[in-house]
Structure 1
Amino acid sequence: MIDLQVRTELGDIVARSSGFDWTQELIDLDRSTYPLLSGLCAYLDTVFNQRQVPMLLEELDRLPPGSVLNEESRSEIRRLCVLVSERSHHYLWFVGD
């Protein structure tokens, strides 16, 4: 399970989500098509800043419906991306095990 968090630059958690399950489809994403999503790792934390969030959202929009991430997971990622994009010095964290 990968948890999602929005943190300030000081590390304070301002929002979180239950995240999503790690799947083989996520592992197998083409790096040239999905450079940000393919960089996620179940065992590592991955952080996206305010400038990267729009690119992450574009990648989410390109995923075929019903593949890799279910709609609930996509909605939660989008919700947290909006928080990051609206606030200075906030980051989206994908927290691995």
Structure 2
Amino acid sequence: MRGGWVYIMTNRPNGTLYTGVTSNIGRRAYEHREGLVEGFTKRYGLKRLVYMEFYERITDAIQRESNMKHWPRAWKAQLIVNYNPGWVDLFETLNQ
């Protein structure tokens, strides 16, 4: 079984947030950046990857994403600030 990533996309610091899960963070972040995925992230221009965490089992990542989607926005924002205080786009660091 492959691992999985839980991630958060935004349009700007403290902007609209989207929480997702994927088995391939590089591909998924690229799809969001390029507007290749119809729906919420494209409609709101959520192109900045500001948070990600890896799980050895995709099922654990799916459970974490499900839990996070029920969190208040302030909790997600604090999670991002703790991990990525400048809300910088982490996509640039994926292939380093």
Q: TM-score, normalised by structure 2?
A: 0.31
Which structure ranks higher in relative contact order (CA pairs < 8 Å, sequence separation ≥ 6)? Answer: 1
